Amino acid sequence: MADYCVLYNPKASHGKGKANAFALLDMFPKDTLRYADLTQIDDLAAFVDALPADERLIVAGGDGTLSRFVNRMNRDRFDRDIYYYAAGTGNDFLHDLEMPTGTKPFIINRYLEELPRIRFGETTMRFINGVGQGIDSYVIHQGDLGREKNPDKKTNYTAIAIKGLLGGYKPVKMTVTVDGVEKVYNKVWMAPTMKGRLFGGGMMPTPDQDRTDPKKTVSVCVVHELSAFRTLCIFPTIFKGEHVKVTDNVEILEGSEVTVKIEQPAPLQIDGETYLGVTEYTVTTNVTANV
């Protein structure tokens, strides 16, 4: 028998986070599990540090929950094992590791060490999967607005994306600088900066990105100068990473520092959470740098 503390996010999986986390009771019928609402803990680091040494810690939630956990802990190393149970909607982190939904909690410390930082305005954060501005952030923001109007209605991100491709989203000019080399792109549909391969519930913008690569680089996928119809045709191939074959309009850039600038303020998504009114952000994998 073992003792577990389960940190859960009730807002995960569109409000099903608590129920999903309680599925662990069936996985560990002979163990003792106590639950704590992550959103109700003021000082998360102090809470975790106060846990008994023999009590195992499970973080239960989706990618956004995991992102909140690492940012509130604000550490590049952990003194105890951190277990993860994917209880979200997309679970891109889990699937990037090629693990199926329903996988029993597993130790993720190696994936939380020295995560890349993103800075926008006065804010600096770590991220797990990826960040970006474009059709990806548009879709997430529109989903947020839809839930505000109708919390009980299930969000159809695919329908939002199609609506965006058919005119709801307007491609923009972006300046992307990777390790000091600046490139300007017109009519950019998306340009996510990725630590892993997946985002947005299974899309694979950077199929060759490896979150365990010792170089700790990130990859930027710039999709640009395509008609709305052509983008709509290519969109399904992103789920298999086959969009990279369209080399005239899709470019993958790899490096340790990335700065993205756009012409007008727009939503920025970080691990599926949106931040409004952003015109520039910088990502660095050098965690000792002053970002």
Q: According to the model, what pLDDT value does residue 165 have? A: 86
Question: Cβ distance 95 to 202 under 8 Å?
Answer: yes
Tens-place pLDDT, residues 48-60: 999 999 999 999 9
Partners of 254 in the β-ladder: 219
Tens-place pLDDT, residues 17-31: 999 999 999 999 999
The percent of residues in the chain predicted with pLDDT above 90, rounded, is 80
Buried b (16+ CB within 10 A) or exposed e, 118-129: bbbeeeebbbbb
Where do the H-state alpha helices sit in the chain?
A: 12-15, 17-21, 24-27, 44-49, 63-73, 92-96, 109-112, 135-149, 157-163, 228-234
Q: According to the model, what pLDDT value does residue 158 have? A: 81
The pLDDT confidence band at residue 15, using thresholds 50, 70 and 90, is confident
Give dist(CA 106, CA 190) in Å, integer: 33
Give dist(CA 171, CA 266) in Å, integer: 11
Listing DSSP states for 230-261 in one string gives HHHHHGGGGGGTGGGG-TTTEEEEEESEEEEE
- Cα-based angle 102, 103, 104 (whole degrees, multiple of 5): 110
**What tokens appear for 93 in the block?**
């982190």
Q: Is the confidence at residue 289, as pLDDT, over 60?
A: no
The stretch 67-74 carries a mean pLDDT of: 96
- The domains found in the chain, sorted by start residue, are 3-113 (3.40.50.10330), 118-284 (2.60.200.40)
The stretch 84-113 carries a mean pLDDT of: 95
The percent of residues in the chain predicted with pLDDT above 70, rounded, is 99
pTM, to two decimals: 0.93
Tens-place pLDDT, residues 209-253: 999 999 999 999 999 999 999 998 998 999 999 999 999 999 999
Q: Is the confidence at residue 196, as pLDDT, over 70?
A: yes
Contacts 24+ apart (CB under 8 A), 20-25: 20/60, 20/87, 20/88, 21/60, 21/61, 21/85, 21/87, 23/87, 24/58, 24/60, 24/85, 24/105
The pLDDT confidence band at residue 123, using thresholds 50, 70 and 90, is very high
Q: According to the model, what pLDDT value does residue 288 have? A: 64
Give dist(CA 93, CA 196) in Å, integer: 8
Q: Is the confidence at residue 144, as pLDDT, over 90?
A: no
Q: Is the confidence at residue 176, as pLDDT, over 60?
A: yes
Question: Cβ distance 249 to 224 under 8 Å?
Answer: yes
The stretch 146-174 carries a mean pLDDT of: 85
**What tokens appear for 151 in the block?**
């919390």
Q: According to the model, what pLDDT value does residue 151 have? A: 77
- State how far the alpha carbon of 125 is from the alpha carbons of 154, 227, 253, 264, 282, in Å: 29, 34, 22, 22, 11
